[in-house]
Amino acid sequence: APRTVLITGCSSGIGLAIAVRLARDPQRRFQVIATMRDLRKKEKLEEAAGPALGRTLSIQHLDVCSDSSVAECVGSIPGGRVDVLVSNAGVGHVGPVESISVEEMKHLFDTNFFGAVRMIKAVLPDMKRRRSGHIVVISSVMGLQGIVFNDVYAASKFAVEGFCESLAVQLLQFDVFISMVEPGPVNTDFERKLLEEASRRECAGADAATVRYFRDVYLPASRDIFAALGQSPEAVAEAVARVVGAQRPAFRMQTNRLYTPLVALKYADPSGDLSVRTLHRLLFRSGSLLRLSVSALRCLTCACCRRGVTPA
């Protein structure tokens, strides 16, 4: 029988692409419940799903920030049975920390961290009871490596990684798997919304030099990075299909090879200086994060990476 896959945040971007990829699986392995916070935005998914709609794909309401919405959606699934959870819903945030209120930070954590936690808690008891199940979390390379001006977003993804890394050990005892999918930049509305919001941001509370670094150095570099290294949501969906189809799914999976060396810097030097100082030099000394891609490519062939210092 096809496995039931519940996905959050399917009205756009990566979530939409995953829902479509799994619902239109050539081997028909999945029955997809694609969920979204606002059902008025379902048209794009309906269109992309094509003939899968109503057959291998159904659309339901789910707001990951609401306990009752999560309970209602999971409760409506026959037998409450979810074989695969894909926790994808998330929001981005960039800017100088001085200009971000703690309230805003809590809102971001409520979606990116507690949203994933709510979903995992909702499906876990049944998965444990059945001694089978797979939880896939769309994390980010920023769940492994902090990036300048993404302090709060990276913190929320680190939080998810810590939560899941701890849980993964216990769950192996129940034959339940967790996988963290860690994309680099992906060209979705996420980045567009983020950069639009960032350019409007008044940065009140931050000093002039910090605001200048953010506006004149970070934002253009970020645009360049997305243009040069950005993946399509479909490429990430393909990676998710691979991990969901695996007999023994990996705990971590980076989807963009160009980012592997960035994370390797961290593991290559336990003091942390290599990654912090390299990122500092690339952004503030060379003036362009684009150089990062070049050094990343060079690093792919360097001895430390060939020795397998990169994380599994």
- CB contact at 8 A, 268 and 262: no
Q: Active-site residue among 153, 213, 218, 259?
A: 153
* Residue-wise DSSP of the chain: -PEEEEES-TTSHHHHHHHHHHHT-TT--EEEEEEES-GGG-HHHHHHHGGGBTTTEEEEE--TT-HHHHHHHHHTSGGG--SEEEE-------S-GGGS-HHHHHHHHHHHTHHHHHHHHHHHHHHHHHT-EEEEEE--GGGTS--TT-HHHHHHHHHHHHHHHHHHHHHHTTTEEEEEEE-S-B-SHHHHHHHHHHHH---TTS-HHHHHIIIIIIHHHHHHHHHHHPBPHHHHHHHHHHHHH-SS--SEEES-GGGHHHHHHHHH-TTSHHHHHHHHIIIIISS-THHHHHHHHHHHTSHHHHTT-S--
CB-wise, 19 or 206, nearer to ligand NAD?
19
Quick check: 261 binds ligand NAD (CB under 6 A)?
no
Between 19 and 211, whose beta carbon lies closer to ligand NAD?
19
Under the binding rule (CB under 6 A), the answer on residue 243 touching ligand NAD is no
**153 a catalytic residue:** yes
The answer to the question of residue 96 lying near ligand NAD (CB under 6 A) is no
Is 133 a residue that touches ligand NAD (CB under 6 A)?
no
Of 37, 134, 252, 266, the residue at the interface with ligand NAD (CB under 6 A) is 37
Segment near ligand NAD (CB under 6 A); pick from 19-27, 43-51, 61-69, 127-135: 61-69
Query: What is the contact mask toward ligand NAD in residues 134 to 163, using x (rule: CB under 6 A)?
Result: ----x-x-----------------------
Locate 284 and state its tokens. 């503030």
Interface with ligand NAD (CB under 6 A), residue total: 28
Sheet holding 84-87, edge to edge: 57-61, 30-36, 3-7, 84-87, 133-138, 176-182, 252-254
Q: Which of 2, 65, 128, 130 binds ligand NAD (CB under 6 A)?
A: 65
Read off the tokens for 244: 């969901």
Which residue in the set 91, 167, 228, 235 belongs to the binding site for ligand NAD (CB under 6 A)?
91
Q: Is 13 in the site for ligand NAD (CB under 6 A)?
A: yes
Binding residues for ligand NAD restricted to 171-190, rule: CB under 6 A: 183, 185-186, 188-190
Asked if 191 is part of the footprint of ligand NAD (rule: CB under 6 A), the reply reads yes
What are residue 311's phi and psi, to 5 degrees? -65, 150
9 binds ligand NAD (CB under 6 A): yes
Rule CB under 6 A: is residue 21 a binding residue for ligand NAD? no
89 binds ligand NAD (CB under 6 A): yes
Q: Does 19 bind ligand NAD (CB under 6 A)?
A: no
Closest distance to ligand NAD from the beta carbon of 11 (Å) = 4
Nearer to ligand NAD, 37 or 134 (CB): 37
CB of 226 to ligand NAD, least distance (A): 7
β 3-7/30-36 pair status: parallel
The answer to the question of residue 255 lying near ligand NAD (CB under 6 A) is no
Residues contributing to the site for ligand NAD (CB under 6 A): 8-9, 11-15, 36-37, 63-65, 88-91, 111, 115, 138, 140, 183, 185-186, 188-191, 233
Residues tagged active-site: 153
